[in-house]
Amino acid sequence: MDVGAGSRAVLRVERPDGIDAFVALAGDFLAAREAEHGLILGLAGNLQRGTLGLDEPPLLAVVLDQAAGDRVVAAALRTPPYNLVVSMVDDLDAIDALAEALAGDPLPGVSAPRGVADRFAEGWTARTGQRARLSMAERIFRLTAVREPRPASGRMRAAERADRALLIAWIEAFTLEALNKSEDAAPGVDRWLEHRGRRLWLWEDGDVRVSLCGAGGETAHGIRIGPVYTPPEHRGHGYASNLVARVSQLLLAEGRQFVTLFTDLANPTSNRIYQDIGYEPVADFEVIDFEVLDFIAPTG
């Protein structure tokens, strides 16, 4: 699909037929902003390693500027049933081209840098008739050195098979609290306990498990923290701060140059906690959900 005229960029949207073709086409573009693209790069890597257990193929799209020798200007990836993840862009016209090219695909929503998400939602709703709502405003943070938090009682340990029932319950509680969505966490927990795509750690105070931290989505030089969850009855004791700090330090010691994580901007406590242990803001993102309809037909 071509979009553009005159001296402006002439944009073409490619739909690679597999994740290897997607990475070959868009990998260098995404790697140039590795921390900002940690989510999409991490998903691509997990797809290449076969650790996601998808029931249907991913959606893959790359926007090229033909006027600049097919230079990549945007990329997008979706692992069903989750939202489309869109890259950073320098020219928002690329997002218009992307929305037009994908208008025949059913999408539950989009996760993208602030401004990019808004532009995609505008184009999407105009073409599909779906309504859009802002679900979450997020910020991505990056850490290269840990600042030790105020000590908390207890210790970190790797999650084990014996923790499975608790991990499922906690991750389902996290998903409901953070994303307002219900989801069966068992398949993911089983993969993660096998270190397929993600690892999990717990903080124990005495013999009581009080906090959870995961890490996965490896990129060439980084890795992403998440989920992080402490049950309400155990909050306010510094457990999560110490657990995230210990996990982050372990990941750096294993050879990662940086660690990233997403925070909900509506939660000032978590934003402050992560900055206190050395995480620095990189970029703001938005999650926009589209209403679910049985059939979506492009309007244009």
Mean pLDDT, consecutive 10-residue segments, the chain of 300 residues? 57 97 98 98 95 89 96 97 95 96 94 97 95 96 97 98 98 92 92 94 98 97 97 97 98 98 92 96 97 54
pLDDT for res 133: 96
Same domain for 150 and 134 = no
Distance separating alpha carbons of residues 39 and 238, to the nearest angstrom? 27
Same domain for 104 and 21 = yes
Could you tell me if residue 291 is inside a domain? no
Rounded to 5 degrees, φ, ψ at 226 are 145, 150
Which CATH number does the domain housing residue 103 bear?
A: 3.40.630
Could you tell me if residue 224 is inside a domain? yes
> Could you give the dihedral angle defined by the CA atoms of residues 223, 212, 109 and 28, in that order, rounded to the nearest 10 degrees?
0
pLDDT for res 5: 42
Give the count of alpha carbons within 13 A of 133, CB side only: 3
Which CATH number does the domain housing residue 219 bear?
A: 3.40.630.30
Same domain for 160 and 85 = no
Could you tell me if residue 286 is inside a domain? no
Domain carrying residue 47: 2-138
User: 106: cis peptide before it, omega within 30°?
Assistant: no
Same domain for 228 and 116 = no
CA-based nearest residue to 58, from 97, 25, 19: 19
Structure-block tokens of residue 237? 């004791």
Residue 12's DSSP bridge partners are 2, 64
pLDDT for res 27: 98
pLDDT for res 96: 97
Distance separating alpha carbons of residues 295 and 105, to the nearest angstrom? 10
Same domain for 129 and 150 = no
Helix axes 116-128, 93-102, angle to 10 degrees: 40
Contacting residues for 104 by C-beta, under 8 A, at least 6 apart: 296, 298
Same domain for 185 and 84 = no
Could you tell me if residue 214 is inside a domain? yes
Could you tell me if residue 292 is inside a domain? no
Q: State how many domains the chain has.
A: 2
CB distance 53 to 79 below 8 Å: no
| DSSP string over 66-132 | GGGTSEEEEEEEE-TTS-EEE---S-THHHHHHHHHHTTS--SEEEEETTHHHHHHHHHHHHH---E
Distance separating alpha carbons of residues 114 and 117, to the nearest angstrom? 6
Same domain for 127 and 212 = no
Contacting residues for 29 by C-beta, under 8 A, at least 6 apart: 72, 73, 75, 87
Taking only the tens place, the pLDDT of each residue in 206-263 is: 999 999 999 999 999 999 999 999 999 999 999 999 999 999 999 999 999 999 999 9
CB distance 31 to 70 below 8 Å: no
pLDDT for res 294: 52
CB distance 259 to 224 below 8 Å: yes
Distance separating alpha carbons of residues 247 and 213, to the nearest angstrom? 8
Distance separating alpha carbons of residues 296 and 280, to the nearest angstrom? 40
Distance separating alpha carbons of residues 207 and 213, to the nearest angstrom? 18
What is the CB neighbour count within 10 angstroms for residue 73?
A: 22
Contacting residues for 288 by C-beta, under 8 A, at least 6 apart: 109, 110, 111, 117, 118, 120, 121, 132, 133, 134, 135
Could you tell me if residue 287 is inside a domain? no
CA-based nearest residue to 116, from 140, 79, 87: 87
